[in-house]
A and B are shown apart, each in its own frame.
Chain A
Amino acid sequence: MLGLDLSFFNWEIISKFVKNGFIFSVQLTVVGTLGGILLGTLLALMRLSGKKALMIPAVIYVNGMRSVPLLMVILWFFLLVPMSFYELIPGGSNYRAEISAMITFVAFEAAYFSEIMRAGIQSISRGQVNAGRALGMTYAQNMRLVILPQAFRNMVPVLLTQTIILFQDTSLVYAIGAYDLLKGFTTAGKIYGRTEEAYLLAAVVYFVMCYGMSYLVKRLNTRIAIIR
């Protein structure tokens, strides 16, 4: 077909080259999402705290991260995190690029997740906040028990959409040579002299995964819409 031969990509090659990359891409997505949401929520709370000493650092961090390319941030962390840090993790010095990628994704995505969480918190009606206070809750209790659970739930579709984008962005760890899904395909392609076919298959795999996920998010969206 058009000078391409896809037939040589068999299960053996996939399990030898692609599987580990796939696992790392998923790991990176999960770590980036969970870590990003955690740190992002913290940043959003800092930003909405009304205390200048907390607000200003959060604003600088979020806007700073959002105004530079992810690729540059990946390169920054790879350059700056000292070797001694990786040695703290057992076997870490062999996975320098992979560990650095995880730190980068948590730090970078936190800025985007924090904007989502901020919008979520601000979407909670004033009455909910007042209700919590009328019950005698402290600020922390009110946040934890009343506001954040609702904000989080309202934002689930947006958070998941961001996760799909995050998954696509994991391919950028190419820049520091981390072994992800794309790298798995390109490595196999180089060894067997089938570069073009490898890129094409990588595209198909990414497409199927992202399209599938966004379809599920769409389904979830309609279900949540009915509940309200």
Chain B
Amino acid sequence: MNLDWTFFLNDNGSGRTYWQLMLDAWGWTLSVAGLSWVVAMLLGALMGTLRTLPNSPWLVRLGNVWVELFRNIPLLVQIFLWYFVVPKVFPAMMQVPGFVLVVLALGFFTSARIAEQVRAGILALPRGQRYAGMALGFSTAQTYRYVILPMAFRMILPPLTSESMNLLKNSSVAYAVSIAELTMFALQTQEETARGVEVYIVVTALYAISAFAVNRVMALVEKKMHIPGMVMAGATGGGH
């Protein structure tokens, strides 16, 4: 097979080279993934916590419904729902740019998975931890804030790492609603230049590099946050 990489330096007709366009696309991928990550972490932590609350059956139910709803519909369908259906049903959402809708879709989708992990982490703690908080006279909120969540979050860092990497890879689905991210760039450039193999190689490599970077950052966090005296098992999460 003859590979020809020189087209990366060519202008695509917009006054910019493919090389520059690709860096832009990489930026879009990272922005979509980064912002969705923030949404997913906040909502995931909230919903995961709600599901473990004692004496609040309705909040537990809300958390359960949230997780089942966003976990059991394919991401692509959810993105279409946010992009096409939500603005039609709620006309106020018409003004919201597509980028934000995709961030919400990816964020909500991932939040269900993170909520699952947060719940598992909280339930994995010995019951004594909760009692210790109560014995100290903490309210439920204080027990969670000072006792349970700091432990639970550090215990679930390995699965959170793989969820974060999944989020980055899943951001590729955003191409379906014409976000100018890496997959979109790959498809467009393949069409324009008929150099599919070269483009795919570079784009795939960029995804792998990004996922690896997420992995390294999370490993660093894991090391910094390590609970003294505890063995951290490297759990592997399924999914994608």
Contact = CB atoms under 8 A, between A and B. Distances in A.
Given A76-B200, A203-B78, A211 B173 contact: no
A72 B73 contact: no
B126 interface: no
Interface of A: 2-4, 64, 66-72, 75-76, 79-80, 112, 115-116, 119, 158, 161-162, 165, 168-172, 174-175, 182, 195-196, 199-200, 202-203, 206-207, 210-211, 214
Contacts of A195: 84
A16 to B, nearest CB: 21
A116 B203 CA distance: 28
Interface residues of B, number: 41
Nearest to B236: A115
Contacts of A170: 74
11 contacts: A67-B211, A69-B173, A71-B183, A116-B238, A162-B239, A171-B74, A172-B74, A182-B76, A202-B80, A203-B78, A207-B69
Interface string B170-200: 1111011000000100110010000011001
A185 to B, nearest CB: 9
Contacts of B169: 67-70
B73 A71 contact: no
B116 to A, nearest CB: 11
Given A68-B208, A76-B200, A171 B76 contact: yes
A207 B190 CA distance: 34
Nearest to A66: B240
Contacts of B80: 199, 202
Contacts of B212: 67
Contacts of B72: 168, 206-207, 210-211, 214
A115 B176 CA distance: 30
Nearest to A189: B84
Nearest 8 Cβ contacts at the A-B interface: A210-B72, A69-B169, A69-B172, A168-B74, A171-B74, A71-B172, A67-B208, A2-B89
A207 B73 contact: yes
